[in-house]
Amino acid sequence: MTSHSISPAPTRRTVVKAAAVTAVATPALLGAAAPALADAPAPAFLHGVASGDPLPDGVLLWTRVTPSPEAVPGSGLGADVRVDWEVAEDRSFSRVVASGSATASAAADHTVKADVRGLRPATAYFFRFTAGTAVSAAGRTRTAPAADAAAPGVRFGVVSCANFEAGHFSAYRHLADRADLDAVLHLGDYIYEYASGVYPEAGDTVRPHEPRHEIVSLADYRTRHGRYKTDPDLQALHAAHPMVAIWDDHEFANDAWTGGAENHTPGTEGDWAARVAAAKRAYFEWMPVRASTEGTVFRRIRFGRLADLHLLDLRSFRSAPAKTGSGAVDDPERTITGRAQLDWLKSGLAGSDAAWQLVGTSVMISPVAFGSLPAYLLEPLAELMGLPAEGIAVNVDQWDGYTDDRKELLAHLSSRGIRNTVFLTGDIHMAWANDVPAKAATYPLSASVATEFVVTSVTSDNLDDLLNVAPGTLSVVAAGAVRTANRHVKWVDMDHHGYGVLDVTAERSQMDYYTVSDKRDPAATTSWARSYRTLSGTQRVERVYQPVI
């Protein structure tokens, strides 16, 4: 069971509509009803099936039913529909172990969730839905190991940043084809909010968003989620593995924080709080994610005594962004986590008996700065000039823009002797392998207190896309400059798109990085790029010259 306060299983009214025929009912009335039912279009499962947030005894199931042709996502149209679900031990569903019913209604955009319990730990199951004569595709899911089990290993697919307009989701297809994953970890930017032709520009758009305008209202966010879930590779991924997901900014708007976003204009796009509420409602309707009582995604999922997975929400509580180069990034009154979430994380890390502490963070925690100087020069110079104490941060949307929270968290890891902490990160559209230093300016003389694996984007533009040059043309120089100024960065790939596979055992955590041949090609192939691991007790990453599988 999670240690964060999670709301009970999603409740849906189960409405059974029956025609009660009394002794005074006439044959004419009975006959009048039959043609109407016969002519009504059958419900359909057009958006696939999904599962998520696996527990030792259960998993969350999801689908969306289209009750009639006009009941498209975001329309608010369509009648209530009874949806039945079943979970079985076999693909033929001859050994059903759990079943139930829910009601799909326009109030929830005809999405359905079933929080199934009573299952066995560390076990694969199959699930499907029915509505009338319609039967969904079958999905495969897997429960987590028992909380006290000495699990020999756990393996995750790791993805982030999937822009529908920028390419095809081949990375999802290749992960769906693997039979060795316990779950897929999605680290944010599952959808993008932009208008069609904005990012990327119209000339580089592979396929259009729906709706075509920037999404702002509840209907807009529902429509965009629905568009994404028509993608066959995304449907295949959800049908093959349970997903554990957190959000980043583009589930709302670019560079979102508690009071607004970089591309939100209150005068023309309405109240920010209303937009966030709409985005969150659509997200929880359309994603196989359990909402906490706070309406956020920070939560904890355990995989036996091998690993605790701490999942963060770094948008709902963060302070306004600081300007690049401003010493305001060090202001202790500014936060990226919020006080309650940071305390929850610290408590969970200190209280865990798991061999590994995996932290899902949507933005990079490792410092990336230029202008780094020896500490004895940097500290007084920064004080005199009002500069960040650890150098000029490149991206203040990351933890670099909120250094006091980072300092407190890393000091907690150090002072409490919390070892084997691995941050798992997306957002930046590049692949990285980093040590996480206590003091970046003096690394490697000062300690590394954790490690970080960052996965590249599924499709969202990276350096070669933005500069419209061949991969590797400029990135070798840029990557070299990053590593020269930041010696804790062991590797960075600025060019490719793809995914990661994280394999965790008692001895080590290893990230295998895979790339796809061409994000614009729906039949793109995949290939292994590099692997890095951190050995138990070392707090440092090292290169490995072959993937786990």
Please write the tens of the pLDDT for every residue from 396-433. Answer: 999 999 999 999 999 999 999 999 999 999 999 999 99
SS3 state at 61? strand
Peptide bond preceding 211 in cis form (omega within 30 of 0): yes
Could you tell me where in the chain the CATH 2.60.40.380 domains are found? 27-142
Give yes or no for residue 373 having a pLDDT over 90.
no
Give yes or no for residue 7 having a pLDDT over 60.
no
Give yes or no for residue 35 having a pLDDT over 50.
no
Per-state percent for the chain, helix, strand, coil, to nearest 5: 25, 25, 50
CA 212, CA 195: separation in Å to the nearest integer? 5
CA 353, CA 345: separation in Å to the nearest integer? 14
Could you tell me where in the chain the CATH 3.60.21.70 domains are found? 154-544
Token pair recorded at residue 22: 């009394």
Token pair recorded at residue 94: 């001859």
Give yes or no for residue 382 having a pLDDT over 60.
no
Architecture in CATH of 27-142: Sandwich (2.60)
Identity (one letter) of the amino acid at 476?
Answer: V
What is the separation, in whole angstroms, between the first and last Cα of the chain?
30
Neighbours of 312 (CB within 10 A): 26
Summarize the confidence of residues 454-472 as an average pLDDT.
86
Average pLDDT in the chain:
89
Alpha helices (H) along 200-338: 218-228, 232-240, 266-269, 272-286
What is the band of 68 on the pLDDT scale with cuts at 50, 70, 90? very high
Give yes or no for residue 476 having a pLDDT over 90.
no
Backbone angles phi, psi at 404, to 5 degrees: -70, -40
What is the band of 32 on the pLDDT scale with cuts at 50, 70, 90? very low
Summarize the confidence of residues 432-437 as an average pLDDT.
97
Backbone angles phi, psi at 337, to 5 degrees: -100, -30
Per-residue confidence (pLDDT) for residue 464, from 0 to 100: 80
Architecture in CATH of 154-544: 4-Layer Sandwich (3.60)
pLDDT per residue as tens digits for the range 492-517 = 999 999 999 999 999 999 999 999 99
What is the band of 477 on the pLDDT scale with cuts at 50, 70, 90? confident
Identity (one letter) of the amino acid at 515?
Answer: T
Yes or no: say if 475 and 464 are a contact pair by the CB < 8 Å rule: yes
Give, to the nearest 10 degrees, the angle between helix 339-351 and helix 403-415.
20
What is the band of 331 on the pLDDT scale with cuts at 50, 70, 90? very high
CA 156, CA 181: separation in Å to the nearest integer? 5
pLDDT per residue as tens digits for the range 96-106 = 999 999 999 99
Bridge-based pairing of strands 243-245 and 183-186 is parallel
Dmax over CA atoms of the chain, in Å, equals: 95
Token pair recorded at residue 170: 């081949």
Token pair recorded at residue 211: 């709706």
pTM of the full structure? 0.90
Yes or no: say if 258 and 318 are a contact pair by the CB < 8 Å rule: yes
Give yes or no for residue 360 having a pLDDT over 80.
yes
